[in-house]
Amino acid sequence: MKNIFLLFLGILFTIAFSFTGIVLISNVQYGKLKPVAMAEGEDTQPREPSGIAQQGKKEYETLGCLYCHSQQVRRKGFGADFARGWGDRQTVARDYIFQKRVVLGTMRTGPDLTNVGERLTDESWHYLHLYDPQLTAKGSLMPPFKYLFRKQKIRDERTPNALKFPPDYKHQPEEGYEIVPTENAEKLVAYLLSLKLNYELPESKFSQ
């Protein structure tokens, strides 16, 4: 290549082209979406997550949950996202507008979690699952998150959210002790329970 100016111009043009096309145009097209209502008088969707759920999301991020769990539902017929109950409609850009950090994920070593708050509503199930995944899903590859719990002496009576192990569980705490979730575990579970795809948007209605 003899014309160095042309070489440099080409290098500049190709990157500017994709940067404009993919990044800047995305920003213009769907970078400033607002919540909408399905009909006049109804609540606008999506809604801003609660404070504790937002704190729990931070926990989700720093523990690296997104490397095994996605949070996106693909359209009906594309994969088995619908059939597995991961959501009743495809997720669209507007669903994510209140997430400061979008954690779509690219891996499903574990199931998708977009709608986990609708599928698994029991708080104590989540605590057991985080403490030892083998208790709730035998054969799971999820690591135990025991550091989100602490062992303490039972005072007058059991703490309400102390883990209730099945009787045949081998690693029960000693007599007189209980395992309770730490504040971080409470936030994380609050976040998981808040993940619900239970509203429609004009561009994505149920069964789409």
Partner 1 sequence: MTTSNIQDTTGYATGHAPIHKTKLAAIDYSLKAPVLFFACSALIWLLIGTAFALLASFSLHSPKLLPNWEWLTFGRIRSAHLNSVAYGWGNNVVYAVCIWVMARLCQTKIRYPNVLLTAGVFWNLGITIGIASILSGNLNAVEWLEMPKMVSPILGLSYVLIGVWGVMSFFYRESPHVYVSQWYLLAGFFWFPWIYTAVQTMVIWFPAQGTVQAVTNWWFGHNALGLWYTPMAIAVVYYLIPKVLGKPIHSYYLSVIGFWTLALFYNWAGVHHLIGGPIPVWLVSAGVVASVMMVIPVLVTAVNHHMTVVGSFRHVWDSPTLRFIVFGAMSYTLTSVLGSTMALREVNQITHFTHFTVGHAHHGIYAFFTMVMFGGLYYMMPRMLQREWPSVGLIHLHFWAAGIGITIYVVGLSIGGWIQGLSMNNPDVPFIDVVRRTVPWLISRSVGGSLMALGHVAFAVNFIWMLCAKRVQEGPTMFYQATSGEPIKVIP
Considering only residues 133 through 152, tell me which ones interact with partner 1, judged by CB under 8 A. 133, 137-147
Distance in angstroms (rounded) separating the CA atoms of residues 16 and 24:
10
Return the residue of 45, 54, 99, 208 that touches partner 1, per CB under 8 A: 99
DSSP β-bridge partners for residue 36:
45
Q: Does 11 sit near partner 1 (CB under 8 A)? A: yes
Q: Does 36 sit near partner 1 (CB under 8 A)? A: no
Q: C-alpha 161: how far from its chain's center? A: 22
Going residue by residue from 155 to 194, which x/- string records binding to partner 1, judged by CB under 8 A? ----------------------------------------
Which residue's CB is nearer to partner 1, number 152 or number 182?
182
Q: Does 67 sit near partner 1 (CB under 8 A)? A: yes
CB neighbour class for 17 (10 Å; exposed up to 12, middle 13-18, buried from 19): exposed
User: From the CB of 192, what's the least distance to partner 1, in Å?
Assistant: 15
Task: Mention every residue, 6+ apart, whose C-beta is less than 8 A from residue 132.
Answer: 144, 146, 171
Q: Do 36 and 169 form a contact (C-beta atoms < 8 A)?
A: no
Q: Does 125 sit near partner 1 (CB under 8 A)? A: no
